[in-house]
Amino acid sequence: MDHRRQIQEFLVSRRARISPQSVGLPVAGRKRRVPGLRREEVAALAGLSIDYYIRLERGALTNASDSVLRAISGALRLDAAEQAYLLDLTRADRPSAASRSRRTSPEAIAPQLQTVLDALVGVPALVRTPTLDMIAANPLGRALYSVLYTDTRTAPNLARFTFLTPRAHEFWRDWDQVADDLTAQLRAAANPLDRALTDLVGELSTRSDTFRELWARHDVRAHGRGTKRFQHPVVGALELRYDLLRPAAEPGLTMITYSAEPGTPSHDSLALLASWAAGQQSDGDERNQPAPSHQDGWRT
């Protein structure tokens, strides 16, 4: 990923979504050739000269001050996730960042964090990297994502599964929304110094037309909590609430926990899944044995 090009495409995409009317600008006069705001209008809203803003939009954000970045963010109505993304791109363009070694995503968690995961009884929990590799999970977390744990040699990747595995369209009951959210989360984490991330984006862009189209939107999103709907091969339909936690001692990693509303069918199904997971664990097969089909019924 060329970060200067990323800066340009991101800023262009953000001003394209803002109508002049929404920011109180007149629309009378010559016909508009571009959607959304013109560059001179963004410059005026940010209190910058047009020539300076053009240079910035072309990727020359290396020496831009924090006040300039805040002004641009305000003019383009960037939310917190988008502002953080723009700041990350700006930092990556600075010589001090470019001279550092390329960063890689972590491949394992500290034993203390695994202990925490395993202590969450009845709660599916997992830890993922910025590249959406699921590098750790408790037994119920593995059971929830059993369709992804098909290769014990590597950590499953949510993005690869979603975009490159046909079965994902059945597993995710809201596949379109999940695909959109995962792409926006990868965009939020995008950093040209992360080799694993750039390789993943390149692979998905080559192999998935849908990912390539979603990536080109430059949407940035960072969810803290929400709801996901699954079609699990063992227990069927599940609607679970999720919460994202970012451990201070594990920078870059995200822990995700899932829960079901008490008294709902999903709550009962999650308890059933926990029983199935416990049976798999007691047999010593939870890491190698594929989950039975839901059509075959639940097996003890």
Of the candidates 173, 167, 150, the residue with the CA atom closest to the CA atom of residue 240: 173
Domain positions in the chain? 3-98, 111-296
pLDDT at 146: 94
> pLDDT by residue (tens digit) across 39-69?
999 999 999 999 999 999 888 887 888 899 9
pLDDT given for residue 88 in this prediction? 81
Structurally, what CATH architecture does the domain formed by 111-296 represent?
2-Layer Sandwich (3.30)
H helices within 120-157, ranges in order?
139-144
- Tokens standing for 237? 């339909």
Place of tokens 């920011």: 23
Domain covering 3-98 in this structure, CATH number: 1.10.260.40
Question: pLDDT higher for 145 or 66?
Answer: 145
Length in residues, the chain: 300
Please report how many Cα atoms fall inside a 13 Å half-sphere around the Cα of residue 203, on the Cβ side. Answer: 13
Contact between residue 189 and residue 89 where contact means Cβ atoms under 8 Å apart: no
pTM assigned to the model: 0.80
**Predicted confidence band at 248 (pLDDT cuts at 50, 70, 90)?**
confident
State the burial class of residue 148 (Cβ atoms within 10 Å of its Cβ: 0-12, 13-18, 19+): buried
Structure tokens at 179: 């695909």
Domains 3-98 and 111-296 share a fold: no
